[in-house]
Amino acid sequence: MCGRFAQVIKHDELQRLVKELHAEIQSEQMPISYNVAPTHTVMAIVSNSEKRYDGYFRWGLVPSWMRELPTSPMINVRRESIGTKPSFKASFIRRRALIPANGFYEWKAPGKIPYYVYPSDGGLLYLGAIYDVWQGADGSYLPTIAIITTEANRMMQSLHHRMPVCIMAEAIDDWLDPALQDVHEAEKLMIPIPDDYLSSHRVSPLVNKVSNNFPELIAKVDFQDEI
């Protein structure tokens, strides 16, 4: 699963997004968070028939057909059922997105020990996501998003049996293509990543507190073996 991640994308990385994804970014500096949690606002790259651009969403998918906001919105959706379940099939066909992230957190059992997982090359992750826009009876609207998860690869299995879907460079153009609305073709874009694509290290339990948001959260912390 994916319950927390870091989105610390500064000016230079925003310019990289513009070049790599051919996207229009509205701001020269987006909000920085070392500890993105459910219901927080996240930036994602989305597209329409004319352009790719940055959108801002509350993390936790609320399908547009829901009459009321749920108490527990879906922060993750499973790759295995995304093309069949009514709750998110339409979004998968028409509203795919990429969430650029520096890395994500996972808690290893037993003891729920936090680890930070990040690209081995020091770049950004492009997390596969779907979004929707919920509208209330009063006319208010709420853009929401969920991260797609899949079975863990060999590297992640020591931490958790699930992991976020990472969209690889060769699949990005098709993933963001609004004309691609074939479920089976879209599912093929969620290919497993190489075992050495990600690295991880143990981090401070300070990340457990949602209100904590500073660079030290992603720093490697060495602990002596418990006796």
Taking the complete model, does pTM exceed 0.75, yes or no? yes
Express each pLDDT in 95-145 by its tens digit.
999 999 999 999 998 889 999 999 999 999 999 999 999 998 888 899 999
Residues recognised as catalytic: 2, 106
SS3 content of the chain, % helix, strand, coil (to 5): 20, 35, 45
Q: What is the DSSP letter of 20?
A: H
Express each pLDDT in 164-207 by its tens digit.
999 999 999 999 999 999 999 999 999 989 999 999 999 999 99
Residue 67, CA distances (Å) to 63, 134, 136, 161 in order? 9, 9, 7, 33
Q: Which CATH architecture has domain 5-215?
A: Alpha-Beta Complex (3.90)
